[in-house]
Chains A and B, each alone.
Chain A
Amino acid sequence: MNELFVQIILGISIASVPLIFAATGELLVERSGVLNLGVEGMMIVGAITGFVVQFHFDNALLSLAAAIIAGMSIAAIFAFLTQIMLTNQVATGLALTLFGLGVSAFWGRAYSKVTVDRVDAINVPGLSDLPIVGPLVFSYDPLFYLSILMVILVWYFLNRTKKGLILRAIGDNHDAAHAIGHKVVRYRFIAILFGGAMAGIGGAYLSLVQVPIWVEGMTAGRGWISLALVVFASWQPFKVIVGAIIFGGITILQLHAQGFGVNVDAQYLSMLPYLMTIFVLVTLRIRIKSNTNRVMPSCLGKIFHSTQ
C-alpha cells in the first residue's frame, strides 16, 4: 500500500511538472501586466523542437536548450506585436496558439513514427533506496527539481529584488512606472521571452519525459490549464505548485479510482478544477476588499504606449 501511495504521488508529480513550468512563466508575464493567451502554442512548439533535436542528437541538454530557444522565438513574435506594434493581447495570443499548433504539426509529420531516449530520472545511490522518502524525494527526473527551483527563483525575483519590484509596479500601473523612468516595454519584452522559455520546457517535458513520442496536438489543452493555474494561484508562485498538484491530481486519482473498480463520472470530475478556479477568483476578490495587497495586476492585458 505504501508502495502504491508513493507511486500515486510520483504520478501526480509527473503530471504536474509541465503545468508548473508553463504557469510559472505565464505568472511572471502576467505580473508585468501582459496577458499571453498563446501558452498552448508556445508549449507545443517546445515539445516538437525538443523531440526533433533529441531524435537527431540524442542529447538531453541540447534538446532542452532547443526547446527553450524555440519557446522564446515564438514568444518573441508575441512580444514584438504587442509591445512594439501595440496589438491587442487577447487576439495576438490566440493567433500565437493557432500558429504554434499549425507549425508544430507541419514540422512534426516526419517524426510521428519514431521514438527517442527518454530523459531519465536521476537515482541518487543510497538515498533513492530509502523507504518512502527515498522514491518520494530522490527519484525524479532533473526537470522536476528544476521546475520547483524556477518557482522559488520567480518568487525570489518578484519579492526580494529591485527589478522584481519594478516589474510588479509596471504590471500594476504602467503609466506611473513609465513616469518615474522605468522601461515598461523592455521589462515586458523580457518577461514575455521568459514566459516563452518556460512554456518551451514545459512542452518538451511532455515529449521527452512523460511519453517520449511526438503526436500532433499532444499538449492537449495543458497550455490553457496553465492559464487557469495562474489565476488559481492568485498570481503567487508557490500556489502554482499547489494548483498544479490539484489539477494533475484529479486526473491521476480518477484513473486510480477506476482501476480499483470505483465507478467515477469522468466528465463531471474533470470539470472540478475549472470550477474551482472560478471559485478561487471570486474568493480572491472578496478577500481583496480587506487586503489590498495581493491582487491581480491592474494593467493586465492593457496596451501601453508612451505618448512622449
Chain B
Amino acid sequence: MFKKLFINAIRLFLVASISFLAGGAIAAPTKAAFIYIGPTGDMGWTYQHDVGANYVKKHMGDDVEITTVESVEEGPDAERVMAQLANKGNEIIFTTSFGYMNPTLKAAKRFPNVKFEHATGYKRADNVSTYSARFYEGRHVIGKIAGRMTKSNVIGYIASFPIPEVIRGINASYLAAKSVNPDIQMKIVWVFSWFDPGKEADAAKAMIDQGADIIMQHTDSTAAMMMAEENGIYAFGQASDMGAFGPRAQLTAIIDDWGPYYLQRVRAVRDGTWESADTFDGVREGMVGFSPLSDQLPADVRAMALQAIGELAAGTLHPFTGPVNKQDGSPWLAAGETPPMFPDLLTMDFYVEGIDSKIPQ
C-alpha cells in the first residue's frame, strides 16, 4: 500500500513537472518578423502587410512577439536584415516583396531551422514557402463596376512594371469591363515604379485629360485616388481602403487581407505543423476582399458587383473564361475554358484582344 502511494506520488510528480515544462514552453512567445519594402505609412502594399502583422498580434496576444523592419531595400541589405532577424531568434520571417526572392533563399539556406515566407515569388525550399493572392479576381469585380459606371467609356489604368501579376490585372479588368460594356476602351500608362506619388498623380491627370472618367491603379500610393476625387471622377482603392483620400471618388477598394494567412502560418510554427507550401488564395479564401461598396453605385450595379463577389466566393466564377483571344487575334481560351495556373497565368506576358496598347519591353 505504501509502495502504491509512493508510485502514485512519483506519477503525480512526473505529470506535474511535464505539464509545468509544457506550460513553460507555451509561455514563451513565438517570434515572428516581417520585412517591408516601403514605409508602413504608404497606405497601400506595405501598410496592408502591417495590418496583417497586427492581426496576428491581436489574435495571439502574448503568444507571439512581432518585429517589423520597414523600408528595406531589395539590394544587398535585404539578406543581412533577414539574417539579423534570424539571429534574434525569430522563428518565422515574412519577406513581403518580390525583390527579396533570392536574398530569402540565401538566408533560408543559412538558417535551415527558421521558416521563411516569401510573398509573390516563385522559388521555394524546405523552409521557404511562397504566397500570393489572386488579385485578378478583385480586378474582375472592379472591371465590371467600371464598365457600368463610366460615361466616357474610357478607363485609365496606372501600371507599375510589366510583370505577369500586373498584366493579369489589366487583362482581367478589361475583360470584365468589356463583358458589361462592349464600347469600353482602356488607356494604360506605365510609371515604372511601385510608389512615386508625384508620377502617379501626373499619370492619373494625363489620363483624365484624355477622357478617362475612371482610374484603376496597380501602384501603391493614394495620389491617383486624390486626383480622381479632385476631378470629380471615380477610382478604385489599391491594396487597402483609400476612402479617406477619395471619399466620393472611391467606388470600392481591393483589399489585400493577409491577416488570416499570417495567423495560420505563425500558429503552424507554434504547433510544429509548418510545412513549405505555395499559397495562391483569392476571394473564396478571404485573402482578396473589398471595402464597402460606395453609395454612388446604382442598385443594379451594386447587385451585379455583389453577385460577382458571391460567385467568386463560391468558386463558380473564373475571371478568365473562354472564349478569349490574345491581342494579336490568335485564340487563347476556347469557349468555357479556363487557363491553367502554369504557365498561362503565372507567366502571362500578353494582352487580350481589344486592348489598344503594347506591353513595354
Contact = CB atoms under 8 A, between A and B. Distances in A.
B197 to A, nearest CB: 5
B201 interface: yes
A211 B189 CA distance: 19
B207 A113 contact: no
Contacts, number: 100
A109 B41 contact: yes
A88 interface: no
- Chain B, interface residues (CB within 8 Å), range: 35 or more
A170 to B, nearest CB: 36
A8 B205 CA distance: 9
B356 A261 contact: yes
Contact of B199 (A213, A251, A256, A265): A251
B42 interface: yes
Contacts of A267: 192
A259 B222 contact: no
- Chain A, interface residues (CB within 8 Å), range: 20 to 34
A211 B198 contact: yes
A255 B203 contact: yes
A275 interface: no
A290 interface: no
A259 B226 contact: no
Contacts of A265: 360
Contacts of A15: 202
B357 interface: yes
Contacts of A4: 209-210
A216 interface: yes
A258 B189 contact: yes
A200 interface: no
Nearest to B356: A261
A285 interface: no
A218 B201 CA distance: 12
Interface in B172-212: 187-192, 195-199, 201-203, 205-207, 209-210, 212
A212 interface: yes
Contacts of A113: 41, 43, 244
B198 A259 contact: no
A182 interface: no
B141 interface: no
Contacts of B190: 258, 266
B223 interface: yes
A159 interface: no
Contacts of B71: 216
Given A8-B209, A267-B192, A218 B357 contact: no
B3 interface: no
Nearest to B208: A7
B221 interface: yes
B210 A259 contact: yes
A211 B358 contact: no
Contacts of B197: 211, 213, 215, 218
A59 interface: no
B360 A215 contact: no
A266 B359 CA distance: 12
Nearest to B226: A211
Contacts of A258: 187-190, 206, 357
Nearest to B156: A259
Interface string B73-96: 000000000000000000000000
A255 B202 contact: yes
Contacts of A11: 202, 205-206, 209
Nearest to B210: A259
Contacts of A291: none
Interface string A261-292: 10111110000000000000000000000000
7 contacts: A8-B209, A115-B244, A115-B245, A210-B198, A211-B226, A211-B227, A216-B41
Interface of B: 39-43, 71, 156, 187-192, 195-199, 201-203, 205-207, 209-210, 212, 221-223, 226-227, 230, 244-245, 356-358, 360
Given A4-B210, A11-B202, A206-B198, 4 more contacts: A213-B197, A220-B196, A259-B187, A261-B358
Interface of A: 3-4, 7-8, 11, 15, 105, 109, 112-113, 115, 118, 206, 210-213, 215-216, 218, 220, 251-252, 255-256, 258-261, 263-267
